[in-house]
Amino acid sequence: MISKSLEEYLKTMYILRQKNGNIRVTDIADKMNCSKPSVNKAINNLKENGLINYELYGSIEFTEDGENLAKKILETYDIIFLFLKDVLNIEPEIAEREAEKIKMSMSDETINKLARYVHQVLGLNNLDCNYDVNQEKCRICARRTKIKSD
């Protein structure tokens, strides 16, 4: 189990890789508004936990476990953000900040229940999979269903 701070680094790294195709220490520091030494410390901790592969000045690559955890962290954030923005009608900028804070303290069981509720309220209850925060397929189903209904 890693700290919530390391989860944020992992999530940021996953987003940067999706956006840029690679992950650089400088990009992580810029995105998270922190120092390069802080990023290097986090990278070393993530490496020790078997979540990334990294050699000094080399590329940062996710292990299978690291990528799966990053997807889970991002999915958790997405569910909370959707609830705040689309169900409670909170402004997107505020919902982003609040989702980050709330995500840090919720269990998988609570997230799963919240996700099922959000899917139902947003009309995504005809998904072809039963939502579980530990599975990526619901994110794909939810987006596909939402796009079809728009």
Please indicate, yes or no, whether residues 35 and 106 belong to a single structural domain of this protein.
no
CATH of the domain at 39: 1.10.10.10
Please indicate, yes or no, whether residues 42 and 102 belong to a single structural domain of this protein.
no
Please indicate, yes or no, whether residues 58 and 94 belong to a single structural domain of this protein.
no
Burial class for 37, CB neighbours closer than 10 Å (0-12, 13-18, 19+) = exposed
Distance CA 129, CA 16 (A): 28
Please indicate, yes or no, whether residues 80 and 145 belong to a single structural domain of this protein.
yes
What end-to-end distance do the CA atoms of the chain give, in Å? 39
Please indicate, yes or no, whether residues 53 and 96 belong to a single structural domain of this protein.
no
pLDDT per residue, tens digit, the chain (150 aa), is 788 889 989 999 999 999 988 899 999 999 999 999 999 999 999 999 999 999 887 889 999 999 999 988 888 888 888 889 888 999 989 998 899 888 878 888 888 888 888 877 776 554 445 555 455 445 445 444 444 444
Structural domain count of the chain:
2
Spell out where 1-150 has E strands: 52-54, 60-62
